[in-house]
Structure 1
Amino acid sequence: MSAPELLWDCQCELGEGPVWDAARRCVWFVDIKGRRLHRYGVDDGSRQSWTTPDQTGFALPASDGALVCGVRGGLYRFDPDKGDFERLCEVEAGRPQNRINDGFAAPDGALWFGTMDDSEQQKTGALYRWAGGELSLMDDGYGVTNGPALSPDGATLYHHDTLDKTIYAFDHAEGRISNKRVFAVTHEGYADGPSVDSAGVLHVGLFGGWGVARFAPDGRELDKIAFPVSAITKAAFGDDDLKTLYCTTAWLGQDAAARKAQPLAGGLFKLRVETPGLPQNLIAL
């Protein structure tokens, strides 16, 4: 395993949602509070950025070459060639205090994502599944949602309530979940975005924990990958061999002294690992 390497000092206030786009050989990620969508080309280090319609929690590749973005108030289709956003679906019109946070594309082409109270005070967040144009409420009562992610066999779905530092596991089959239970609790920082490798090990960004925690499929914490910044929001596998972890970070909530002590906070990092991740799925459009 290599040490984390800074790729882009983009100074995201709340960087989130790195995702590998194999077709374009790039990593997409967002700055939620900065209302920006970023693209990093892994071959040439190219960088592009777009302004999003509102706070955006994720941007995931879709089957038609576009991206599906979780924008506050709805799901949007983003055309990278034209640079425009088109709304696909309204989300939580009755919960105006909420915004969309992390998301995941399942092997069947469904989109799973969570919502949260933007002030991070109330447990008004929920977990949704969007497939075939239909939005389904799957679970409710979260403070800050992160994930979800699936085990390699698809039988276990993981989803976090970051406010409670808690990772939940569900039984999963054919787009349905049951048997919610506590999988693990983080003790160094708050459980942020998760990804799963091909051995079933869960990689969890630690907001305020200075690293990425690794959990075995039985919930045991294996170790922590140390970082030079305190808030790691998500680690996602990429590159041709899926052995590179691309990690977003944040400076949200830091005072002037903390920002001076962590000048690289908010940057995009990468590191090499021994066990590959799982291929990035495409959302069916």
Structure 2
Amino acid sequence: MIQLFQPTCVFDLKATLGEGPVWSARDHALWFVDIKQKRVHRYDPDIGSHQSFLAPSEPGFLAPKNRGGFVVGCKTGLYDFDPKAGTFTLLSHVEPGLPTNRLNDGFVDAKGRLWFGSMDDDEEKPTGRLYRYDARGLRVMDNDYVITNGPAVSPDGQTLYHNDTLKKHIYAFDLDDHGDIHNKRLFAQLDRDGKTGEHGEGYMDGPIVDSEGQVWVGLFFGWGVHVYAPDGTLIRKVNLPVSNVTKIAFGGRDLKTVYATTAAKGLSADDLKSQPLAGGLFSFRSDVAGQPQNEINFL
């Protein structure tokens, strides 16, 4: 009998800041990045093999295109990434006037639009923004973030979730058919019960929404993943043996295999001794399937 929600490390790659997992049904593989090592990784679960590509600068996310390949959001802008050739071609600078900013997390909605955030790489100033990128061009949708994470969208396409990591907040927005967002409100937050300790329950990292509308959020310094009902109620915590869980992706042929990226960033030498798998890629089975991975349709 398959045990659910029992994480195991499937790729002990020692990532400094593993992030942005994306399941590609096209090649039955998981793609993700290591931001600080400037790497894009591909993991093949069938044979346990992997490939690694050096990005032009720190990659925060990658998003698949329906014509093949990916868009990768890096510190220096948006790039077209061709895995077959291993090449990165600059598409657009995003924030050339903010040299301490970098692009962080990203998402493709069901209409093929790319959403992503920026952040202060020093994690101090609220210079981060939420962007939408589609055939109409690049547009700022929200601002005043130190660290952005997300967004993610509900199965009906009507609610967009986006995280303010340092504030430990998940916000919800109404999303309309034109890709505009309205009615920003608090969806969930950490440390509401006054937990103590240096990091409390951790920090809201990357979010994703499953096929039933539940919001799954990686917890940096939080030792796992929180799962919230569509009304914002915490319904589950999946514990991992490492403290810095950054984001998950649903994969496999039934979209019930969950992959979690993790990070060694911010851990002391003693922490790393007690967490030898920090920075590894983990996997576990879920009783709920994820949503199919959307692809960019305008590039």
The AA in structure 2 aligned to 1:244 is: T
User: Structure 2: which amino acid aligns with 1:98?
Assistant: N
Find the counterpart in structure 1 of residue 28 from structure 2: 25
Distance in 2 between the 1:230 and 1:242 partners? 25
Aligned residue type for 1:252? K
Q: Is 1:213 paired with 2:226?
A: yes
List per-residue Cα deviations over 1:48-105 (Å, max 9, x = no partner). 0011100010111111111100011211010000000001111011211100000001
Query: How much does 1:2 deviate?
Result: 3.4
- Matching of residue 101 in structure 1 with residue 104 in structure 2: yes
* Counterpart AA for 1:69: V
> Residues of 1 paired with 2:187 and 2:151: CA distance?
13
Cα shift at 1:143: 1.1
Superimposed CA distance per residue, residues 15-69 of structure 1 (whole angstroms, 9 cap, x where no aligned partner): 0001000001100000001101100012111110011100010111111111100
Which residue identity does 1:40 align to in structure 2? Answer: Y
Distance 1:32 1:137 in 2: 23
Q: Give the length in aligned residue pairs.
A: 285
Length-normalised TM-score, structure 1: 0.99
- In the alignment, structure 1 residue 137 sits paired with structure 2 residue 150: no
Equivalent position to 1:164, from 154, 167, 171? 167
8 A contact 2:5–2:238 mirrored in 1: no
- Give 3-state SS (helix, strand or coil) of 1:222's partner: strand
Q: After superposition, give the CA deviation of every residue in 1:138-170 in whole Å (9 maximum; x if it has no partner).
A: 001001000000001011000001011000000
Say which SS state the counterpart of residue 98 (structure 2) adopts. Answer: coil
| Matched residue type, 1:12 | A
Query: Counterparts of 1:235-250 in structure 2 under 5 Å?
Result: 235-250=248-263
Tell me what 2:74 maps to.
71
Alpha-carbon offset, residue 133 of structure 1: 6.1
What is residue 180 of structure 2 aligned with on the other side? 176
The one-letter amino acid of 2:41's match is H
SS in 2 for 1:164: coil
Report the 3-state secondary structure (helix = DSSP H, G, I; strand = E; otherwise coil) of the residue aligned with 2:110.
coil
Look up the SS of the partner of 1:200 in the other structure: coil
Query: 1-side partners of 2:269 and 2:84: how far apart?
Result: 38
Structure 2 unmatched runs, 5+: 192-200
Answering whether residue 136 of structure 2 is matched by residue 123 of structure 1, we say no
Deviation of residue 223 (structure 1)? 1.7
Structure-2 separation of matches of 1:37 and 1:47 = 10
Residue of structure 1 in register with 2:274 after alignment: 261
User: What is the root-mean-square deviation in Å for CA atoms of aligned residues?
Assistant: 0.8
Output the CA distance in 2 between the equivalents of 1:39 and 1:132. Answer: 28
Percent of pairs with identical residues? 54
TM-score by length of 2: 0.94
Give the AA of the match of 2:271: A
Q: Which residue of 1 aligns with 2:196?
A: none
Mean Cα deviation higher: 132-141 or 168-177: 132-141
